[in-house]
């Protein structure tokens, strides 16, 4: 689930909160210059993004999602002079405040969207309105926001549709409905669009999630990824984020999940897009299905990083970092693309993180996990099953890395939230399921947070700055500074190298959004409270303003809207649809924390599903299905984690069939994220003693036996142990001879045949 939407849960459980230059390092400047040169020669990049690459033309500034700039005059030398140059009132109000995402700066124009979906073009110089498009939709939860390209501004205009507006006038050019809004009698629509889109190669990339407005995680709801034609809005391809979007892990009446909450990264050299997919539901469980028993198995492709071809949606690889998530621990943060030297080898990598309070580095070509950094407070978050009674878990449902990270100079900057949730095996925040007892979430005013700097080569924590309020303001690098902001309305600037606090500023309202920066101006939405405003910070403030004539407001009448009905949306030929059923990850960024699955989550409209062939899923060889060590890895995970070789699983079986009869002993070991055997053989009906040696230091594993790779029925599920450690399991083998299946539930790429003779 997501950021601010998660505040919805707080309201529903009675916990809702309070209130309402340019001295760049030479190396980083060179990196930016090279990136700009590459961008200017890249095919498929919209002309506005080419022309204004030095501004903030994309949601996280660039296709790599770095959120870093050296092309501005703000630095540690003049940060003390920052003051408000102008403000723009935010009229949207609601549980999530008025704003929860990133403005864009394109030349002399700021594009901003609030949480009523109202979209504005503002003059960068003085904040005057050039045009506005008012949708006044109170069920948009975010993190929404604009994307710009080909003379259009692309926005979510209601929870079900994407619209294209003219960049000069705000006139709506087309609107494409992605979600069926005419359900059968008694059904409630259970999906919505809660993401800031991005654009590339004549396509608009967006996603649905299992919820919208007041409805989250209703049984049957599945998130999809979409690519739309920028000229017409027609669907070019869509991909399910649940591997079985019809059966939904065996119980479609109860289960739901998936989707993306944050903007994907785009590798312009390869054309591969990288998506962070959210959590499964219900979580933690229900009275009749404790500990997520309604959804046995790993719940692919939730909590997964996916690499998809931008043109077709075909999957190159996927890596699940957390199987069978019980705690709403999404992997949801916008992936960051960069290079690093890991264990002496230069590699192209992709970095992501999420509400589980971990940041991951993956090999960009294979999905292999290279390191894991643990951030924030952790307690009981590695449990595979909750014991009876209340268990306090850090990070809670509103904790961990909730908002976008930044990258510069071989350093990743991650904001984090320390809030706990008290869970029981049958408590739930999946409010789409009626009658579920609610988990207890710590009050937001009691929460704290921080900002960490992580070395990109090793995952080592370089510094960690604690903050007295939850940090849901993202991270943004500006020359030698890194900016962030807390929910109580404090904006901070830290020295990017040392972490020393250089400057802070009290905003007019609380903050759960992140800024855009260009020239000498920081544009920051401050949307929580009675004084909700977009503020422009500039050295000298109003004294430093350049007078600009007030622009005229061009309000385009709604009558010009060209709405394409959902029924006509699904025109993509099956050959191009490539619907890769994936997982159910509700990435809930804190600012838009859609954490509250509501009662009425509808199944994904079949009209937009365009078939979900499992064939596209199987395009990914198991060797690239790098299911991650989620474990208790230390804050400075070493580069030795970077072996994900499922291919190394080719070892000789250690299990020897015992004589038919009563007992047999099996020995199995895990090392380098692989079992030392691909086959275990036992007599039918035997009492099995399995000695499991987990040799992977700091990484959790178990051994579980199922009826087959689809894991429809569990024969035995062993307790999870964090290595190095050894455990002895005992269970009874099936009496029916045949080939069954065993795996590590935390890393399902570790698997093999369990043969009963």
Domains and CATH numbers, the chain: 6-616 (2.140.10.10), 645-756 (2.60.40.420)
Is residue 277 within 8 A of residue 302, CB to CB? The reply is yes
Name the percent of the chain lying above pLDDT 90.
Answer: 66
**Mean pLDDT taken over the chain:** 81
Q: How many CA atoms lie within 13 A of 202 on its CB side?
A: 9
pLDDT for res 750: 81
**pLDDT (average), residues 593-603:** 31
pLDDT for res 492: 98
pLDDT at residue 653 tops 80? no
Closest by CA to 41, choosing from 229, 199, 269, 204, is 269
Residue in the block written with tokens 């014991």: 387
Is residue 326 within 8 A of residue 285, CB to CB? The reply is yes
Bond preceding residue 282 cis, omega within 30 of 0: yes
**pLDDT (average), residues 441-460:** 96
pLDDT at residue 320 tops 80? yes
**pLDDT (average), residues 83-99:** 89
pLDDT at residue 59 tops 90? yes
Task: Report residue 39 CA to chain centroid gap.
Answer: 25
pLDDT at residue 215 tops 80? no
Which range (4-13, 255-264, 499-508) has the least confidence? 4-13
Residue in the block written with tokens 């959804």: 295
Q: How sure is the predictor about 649, in pLDDT bands with cuts at 50, 70 and 90? A: very low
**pLDDT (average), residues 231-238:** 97
CA dist 317 and 428 (Å) reads 32
pLDDT for res 436: 75
Q: How sure is the predictor about 661, in pLDDT bands with cuts at 50, 70 and 90? A: low
Contacts 24+ apart (CB under 8 A), 492-498: 492/451, 492/467, 493/76, 493/79, 494/451, 494/465, 495/76, 496/408, 496/409, 496/411, 496/413, 496/453, 497/409, 498/463
pLDDT for res 191: 85
pLDDT: is 203 or 604 the higher one?
A: 203
Residue 206 DSSP one-character state: E
Those residues whose C-beta lies under 8 Å from the C-beta of residue 482, and which sit 6 or more positions away, are 406, 413, 451, 453, 475, 476, 493, 494, 495, 496
**pLDDT (average), residues 313-330:** 97
Residue in the block written with tokens 């979510």: 156
CA dist 438 and 383 (Å) reads 19
Strands (E), 563-673: 563-564, 663-671
Those residues whose C-beta lies under 8 Å from the C-beta of residue 708, and which sit 6 or more positions away, are 740, 741
Closest by CA to 321, choosing from 650, 537, 641, 755, is 641
- pLDDT one-digit tens code per residue, 95-132: 668 999 899 999 999 999 999 999 999 999 999 999 99
pLDDT for res 58: 98
729: its two tokens: 């399991």
Which range (327-341, 476-490, 721-735) has the least confidence? 721-735
pLDDT for res 182: 65
Is residue 34 within 8 A of residue 339, CB to CB? The reply is no
CA dist 606 and 512 (Å) reads 34
| Alpha-carbon torsion, ordered 752, 754, 755, 756, to 10 deg | 180
Q: 3-state DSSP call for residue 123?
A: strand
Closest by CA to 104, choosing from 48, 159, 158, is 48
**pLDDT (average), residues 404-425:** 97
Counting every residue written for the chain, the total comes to 757
- pLDDT one-digit tens code per residue, 143-166: 999 999 999 999 999 999 999 999
pLDDT for res 745: 75
pLDDT at residue 6 tops 50? no
CA dist 143 and 140 (Å) reads 9
Residue 463: count other Cβ atoms within 10 Å of its Cβ. Answer: 17
pLDDT for res 279: 97
Helical (H) or strand (E) element with 49: helix 47-51
pLDDT at residue 36 tops 80? no
CA dist 205 and 743 (Å) reads 34
**pLDDT (average), residues 21-38:** 39
Q: Which bin fits 127, alpha (ψ -120 to 50), beta or left (φ > 0)?
A: left
CA dist 639 and 130 (Å) reads 50
172: its two tokens: 């709506």
- The sheet that has 406-408: what strands, in order across it? 406-408, 411-418, 448-455, 461-467
pLDDT at residue 586 tops 80? no
Closest by CA to 49, choosing from 348, 312, 131, 38, is 38
**pLDDT (average), residues 586-591:** 35
CA dist 414 and 354 (Å) reads 10
Which range (55-64, 641-650, 713-722) has the least confidence? 641-650
- Alpha helices by DSSP H, listed for 410-528, are none
**pLDDT (average), residues 567-596:** 33
């Amino acid at each position: 689930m997501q950021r601010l939407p998660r505040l919805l849960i707080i309201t529903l459980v009675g916990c809702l909160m309070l209130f309402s230059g340019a001295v760049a390092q030479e190396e980083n400047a060179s990196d930016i210059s090279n990136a700009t040169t590459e961008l200017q020669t890249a095919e498929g990049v919209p002309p506005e993004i080419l022309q204004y690459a030095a501004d903030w033309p994309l949601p996280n500034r660039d296709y790599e999602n770095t959120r870093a700039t050296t092309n501005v005059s703000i630095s540690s030398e003049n940060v003390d002079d920052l003051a408000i140059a102008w403000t723009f009132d935010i009229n949207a109000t609601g549980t999530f405040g008025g704003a929860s995402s990133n403005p864009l700066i394109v030349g002399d124009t700021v594009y901003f969207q609030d949480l009523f979906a109202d979209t504005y073009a503002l003059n960068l110089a003085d904040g005057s309105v050039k045009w506005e498009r008012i949708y006044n939709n109170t069920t948009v939860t975010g993190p929404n926001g604009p994307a710009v390209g080909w003379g259009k501004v692309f926005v979510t205009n209601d929870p079900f549709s994407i619209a294209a507006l003219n960049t000069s006038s705000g006139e709506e050019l087309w609107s494409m409905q992605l979600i069926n809004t005419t359900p059968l009698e008694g059904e409630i629509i259970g999906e919505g669009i809660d993401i800031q889109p991005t654009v590339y190669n004549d396509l608009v990339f967006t996603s649905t999630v299992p919820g919208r407005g007041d409805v989250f995680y209703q049984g049957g709801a599945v998130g999809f990824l979409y690519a739309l034609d920028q000229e017409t809005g027609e669907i070019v391809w869509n991909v399910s984020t649940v591997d079985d979007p019809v059966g939904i892990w065996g119980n479609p009446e109860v289960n739901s999940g998936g989707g993306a909450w944050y903007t994907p990264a785009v590798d312009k050299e390869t054309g591969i897009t990288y998506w962070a997919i959210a959590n499964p539901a219900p979580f933690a469980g229900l009275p009749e299905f404790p500990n997520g028993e309604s959804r046995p198995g790993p719940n692919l492709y939730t909590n997964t990083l996916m690499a998809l071809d931008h043109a077709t949606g075909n999957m190159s690889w996927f890596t699940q970092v957390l199987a069978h998530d019980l705690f709403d621990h999404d992997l949801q943060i916008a992936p960051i693309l960069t290079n690093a030297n890991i264990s002496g080898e230069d590699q192209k990598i992709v970095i992501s993180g999420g509400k589980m309070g971990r940041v991951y580095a993956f090999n960009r070509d294979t999905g292999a996990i290279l390191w894991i950094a643990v951030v924030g407070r952790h307690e009981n978050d590695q449990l595979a099953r909750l014991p009876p009674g209340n268990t306090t878990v850090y990070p809670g449902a509103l904790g961990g890395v909730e908002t976008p990270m930044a990258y510069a100079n071989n350093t990743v900057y991650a904001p984090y939230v320390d809030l706990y949730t008290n869970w029981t095996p049958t408590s739930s925040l999946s409010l789409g399921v009626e009658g579920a007892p609610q988990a207890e979430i710590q009050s937001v005013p009691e929460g704290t947070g921080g900002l960490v700097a992580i070395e990109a080569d090793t995952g080592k924590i370089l510094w960690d700055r604690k903050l007295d309020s939850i940090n849901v303001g993202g991270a943004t690098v500006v020359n030698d500074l890194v900016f962030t902001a807390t929910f109580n309305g404090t904006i901070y600037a830290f020295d990017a190298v040392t972490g020393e606090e250089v400057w802070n500023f009290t905003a007019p309202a609380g903050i759960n959004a992140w800024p855009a920066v260009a020239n000498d101006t920081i544009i920051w939405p401050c949307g929580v409270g009675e004084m909700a405003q977009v503020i422009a910070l500039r050295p000298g403030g109003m004294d430093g303003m350049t007078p600009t004539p007030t622009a005229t407001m061009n309000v385009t009448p709604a009558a010009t809207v060209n709405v394409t009905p959902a029924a006509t949306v699904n025109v993509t030929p099956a050959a191009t649809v490539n619907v890769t059923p994936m997982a159910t990850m509700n990435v809930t960024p804190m600012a838009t924390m859609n954490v509250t699955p509501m009662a009425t989550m509808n199944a994904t409209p079949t009209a937009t599903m365009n078939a979900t062939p499992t064939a596209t899923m199987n395009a990914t060889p198991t060797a690239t299905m790098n299911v991650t060590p989620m474990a208790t890895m230390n804050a400075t995970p070493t580069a030795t984690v970077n072996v994900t070789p499922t291919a190394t699983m080719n070892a000789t079986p250690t299990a020897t069939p015992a004589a038919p009869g009563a007992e047999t002993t099996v020995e199995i070991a895990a090392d380098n994220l692989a079992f030392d055997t691909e086959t275990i053989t036992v007599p039918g009906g035997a009492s099995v003693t399995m000695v499991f040696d987990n040799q992977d230091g700091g990484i959790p594993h178990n051994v579980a036996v199922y009826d087959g790779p689809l894991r429809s029925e569990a024969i035995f599920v062993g307790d999870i142990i964090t290595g190095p450690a050894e455990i002895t399991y005992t269970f009874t083998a099936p009496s029916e001879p045949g080939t069954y299946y065993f795996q590590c539930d935390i890393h399902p790429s570790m698997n093999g045949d369990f043969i009963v003779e």
